[in-house]
Chain A
Amino acid sequence: MATTASSTAGSHVAGSHHEAHHGGHDDHHHHELNFLQKWVFSTDHKVIGCQYAFCGLVFLFLGFLMMLVMRWQLANPGVPVPVVGNFLRGAFGPVVMTDAGALTASGYNVFGAMHGTIMVFFGIVPLAVAGFGNIVVPLQVGAPDMCYPKLNMASFWSFFTSGVLMLASFFVPGSAAKSGWTAYPPLAGIADLPADSSVWLNGQTVWLVAMVFNITGSLLGSINFISTIIQLRAPGLTWMRLPFFVWAQFVTAFLLVLAFPPLEAASFMQLTDRVFGTSFFMPTGLVVGQALGQTWSGGGSPILWQHLFWFLAHPEVYVLILPAIGIVAEVVANNTRKPLYGYKAMVYAIFLLGFLSFIVWAHHMYMTGMGAKVAAFFQITTIMISVPSVILLTALLLSLWGGSIRFNAPMLFATAFLPMFGIGGLTGIPLAFNAVDLFLHDTYYVIGHFHYVVAPGTIFGLFAGVYYWYPKITGRKLSEFLGRIHFWGSLITINGIFFPMFIQGMAGVHRRWYDGGVTYEQLAGPVLHWNKFMTVSAGLLALFQLPFIWNFFSSFWLGEKVGRNPWNATTVEWDTPTPPPHGNFDKPVEVYRGPYEYSVPGAPVDFIPQTQRP
Chain B
Amino acid sequence: MFSRILKYLPFFSDAEVPYTVTARPDTGLYSAKLGIWLFLASEVMLFGGLFSAYIFLRIGAEPGYWPSGLLNVPVGTANTAVLIASSVTVVLAWAALKMRQLAKYKFYMAITILCGVLFLAVKLSYEWPAKFNHFGIFVRQSAASKYEEFLGNKHLSETGQAPRWEISGHLLDAPKGSPYAEQAHHNAEHFAHETHRHDAVTEADDDYVIQLDPVNADPDSKENDRPHFLPRPLSSKIAVIKAADVESASTFAPRHSTYFATYFLITGLHGLHVLGGVLVFLYLWLPIKGGTKLYQTNPEHLANRVEVAGLFWHFVDLVWIFVFPIFYLL
* Residues of A near any B CB (own CB < 8 A): 29, 32-34, 36-38, 41-44, 143-151, 153, 219, 223-224, 226-227, 230-232, 257-266, 268-269, 272, 276-280, 284, 295-301, 304, 307-308, 311, 582-584
Contact = CB atoms under 8 A, between A and B. Distances in A.
B9 interface: yes
7 contacts: A32-B12, A230-B34, A257-B41, A261-B43, A272-B261, A276-B254, A299-B257
Contacts of A301: 56-57, 60
B60 A277 contact: no
Nearest to A26: B15
B258 interface: yes
B8 A37 contact: yes
A482 B250 CA distance: 65
B15 to A, nearest CB: 4
Contacts, number: 171
Contact of B15 (A34, A41, A583): A583
B255 A297 contact: yes
B13 A269 contact: no
A262 B261 contact: no
B19 A231 contact: yes
Prevailing SS type, chain B contact patch: helix
A230 B248 contact: no
Contact of A223 (B16, B39, B261): B39
Contacts of A42: 10, 13
Interface of B: 7-19, 24, 27, 29, 31-32, 34-35, 38-39, 41-43, 45-50, 52-53, 56-57, 60-62, 65, 138, 248, 250, 253-258, 261-262, 265, 269
B18, B42, B50 pick with most chain A CB within 10 angstroms? B42
Contact of A147 (B31, B48, B65, B256): B31
Given A36-B8, A257-B41, A279 B258 contact: yes
A34, A224, A280 pick with most chain B CB within 10 angstroms? A280
A34, A227, A258, A582 pick with most chain B CB within 10 angstroms? A227
A304 B35 contact: no
B241 to A, nearest CB: 16
Contact of A280 (B24, B27, B43, B57): B57
B271 to A, nearest CB: 14
Contact of A307 (B38, B41, B56, B269): B56
A454 B35 CA distance: 31
A280 B258 contact: yes
Given A145-B14, A265-B50, A296-B255, A232 B19 contact: yes
A297 B57 contact: no
Contacts of B39: 219, 223
Nearest to A276: B254
A271 to B, nearest CB: 10
A261 B14 contact: no
Contact of A231 (B7, B24, B48, B57): B24
Contacts of B248: 295-298
Contacts of B46: 261-262, 264-265
B31 A297 contact: no
B8, B41, B49 pick with most chain A CB within 10 angstroms? B49
Contacts of B60: 299, 301
B255 A269 contact: no
A38 B14 CA distance: 11
A232 B158 CA distance: 68
B45, B48, B253, B269 pick with most chain A CB within 10 angstroms? B45
A296 B53 CA distance: 17
A34 B7 contact: yes
